[in-house]
Amino acid sequence: MKTKFLILLLTTSTVIFAGAEILKFTARSQNGDVIVQWQSSSETNIKHYVVERKTVNGSFIEIAIVQPLGSRNYEFVDKTAFKGSDVLYVYRLKIVDNDGSVSYTWEIAVPHNVSSVTKRTWGSIKALFR
């Protein structure tokens, strides 16, 4: 019998990136998608956030641009992640200031595993050819 463990990195320390003070940055696999969430306590001069994803041996690609809303609690649902056997994705946020400066959060590894069912959306098919 094979046992698989879900590894989820939760970070609650406060780190300042460019003009954003990030309190929390998490990601988890849920119901066939990957949920990326973050919380900031302040946003000064922020143009937007970019959610980036890669496989362990790949390069980061932009999968979403999220505008700062002032609510400071954000959630992005990655519906383009392939599900397969032992797929491990790594996520990070790119924080872009109004003056063009860029900073990155820490990286979070998320196992995205659903038996033998594979979800293929147009976005995930395009991602294969990037």
Res 25: pLDDT: 93
Res 44: pLDDT: 84
Res 113: pLDDT: 65
Domains delineated in the chain? 15-128 (2.60.40.10)
Res 19: pLDDT: 65
Q: For 5, phi and psi rounded to 5 degrees?
A: -110, 140
DSSP string, 10-60: -B---EEETTEEEEEEEEEEETTEEEEEEEEEEESSEEEEEEEEEETTS--
pLDDT tens for the chain, 130 residues long, are 444 444 444 444 445 555 678 889 999 988 888 999 999 888 888 999 999 999 888 899 999 999 998 778 999 999 988 766 568 899 999 999 999 999 999 999 998 765 434 455 656 666 666 6
Determine the Cα–Cα distance for residues 75 and 72; give it in Å rounded to an integer. 10
Give the gyration radius of the chain's Cα atoms.
15
Res 14: pLDDT: 45
